[in-house]
Copies of this chain bind each other. A is one copy, B any other.
Amino acid sequence: MSIEMQSIRTDQATDRSLPRFGYIGAESACGGSGQAALYEDLRTLDRFSARVRFAKNETIFSEGDHAGHAYKIVSGVVRLCKHTQDGRRQIADFLLPGAIFGIIDRGEYGFSAEAVSDVVLVSYPRTQIDRLSATKSGVLDHIFEALTEQFMVMQRHLVVLGCQSAKERVASFFLLLADRSRALPGDRLDLPMGRQDIASHLGLTIETVCRAIAELKREGIVVVPSMNQIILKDSAALRRLAEGQHYC
């Protein structure tokens, strides 16, 4: 990891080459309208924030680490995961630009955060967040909303892991990704994560993910122009799959 800027000054002019805080918030893909207000409050934290970079596959923090910072994604993709003692892992979620993470955790992080691609983050010290939330009551409110959002995401994912077949899981995943990317039907969708990551997210093996995608391809439901892109040709069919209605 590399820290690029420890802006003690409130100078907004530094580093114009990358999008500023507010802009990211506006194009955020991972939250409802409530998130926007959170970003506004967090902007107060700007003076204590630092811009940090992580290379692909670098660990941002590990489960159990002291939760000293919360992060916001400027660019790139982050995975939140849990590792078991015997080397298995479960990816709880993928986070896209605009998403905030590590803000839930108090004391220790409850999961590990790793860079799926090269990422640029803004980090906020926990102490400052707590100070701000103590004075401005709205802040806690907004953090709360973010947490609720994450909660909903996980509940949906529980259903995926508990009830769905491999093909249904992949369908659900594509739809979730399309939704978060604000992609329109027929758009070319980015797949920033590898097949193994998708597998670890869906509780499958990499081979099973490949086969599921291949089958969707054969059925004309999706088109795969390149390894890291996908086009949802028939999102209605995907939705039928994801909702568990087997159509014959």
Question: A225 near B: Cβ within 8 Å?
Answer: no
Once bound together, how far apart are the Cα atoms of A141 and B141, in whole Å? Answer: 9
> Is A65's beta carbon under 8 Å from chain B?
no
The reply to whether B104 and A159 contact each other, CB–CB distance below 8 Å, is no
Q: Does A26 belong to the interface (CB within 8 Å)?
A: no
Chain A interface size, under 10 / 10 to 19 / 20 to 34 / 35 or more: 35 or more
Q: Return A64 CB to nearest CB of chain B, in Å.
A: 12
A68 to chain B, nearest CB (A): 17
Contact segment of A8-16, A40-48, A83-91, A212-220: A83-91
Encode A137-171 as 1/0 by CB contact (under 8 A) with B.
10011011001101110111111011100000000
Shortest distance between the CB of A11 and any CB in chain B (Å) = 33
Contact between B155 and A110, CB atoms less than 8 A apart: yes
A163 to B152, CA, bound (A): 21
Give CA–CA (A161, B160) in the complex, Å.
9
User: In the complex the two chains form, what is the Cα distance from A143 to B106 in whole Å?
Assistant: 14
| From B144, B161, B243, B245, contact of A161 by CB (8 A) | B161
**Chain A 85-101 interface mask (CB, 8 Å, partner B; 1/0):** 11011101000000000
Knowing A148-B147, A151-B151, A157-B158, the reply to whether A245 touches B90 (Cβ < 8 A) is no
Task: Tell me how far the C-beta of A65 lies from the nearest C-beta in chain B, rounded to whole angstroms.
Answer: 15
A-B interface, 8 closest residue pairs, ranked by CB to CB distance from nearest: A162-B203, A161-B161, A90-B162, A86-B244, A84-B244, A88-B163, A90-B159, A154-B154
Interface residues of A (CB under 8 A from B): 82, 84-86, 88-90, 92, 104-106, 110-111, 134, 137, 140-141, 143-144, 147-148, 150-152, 154-159, 161-163, 200, 202-203, 243-246
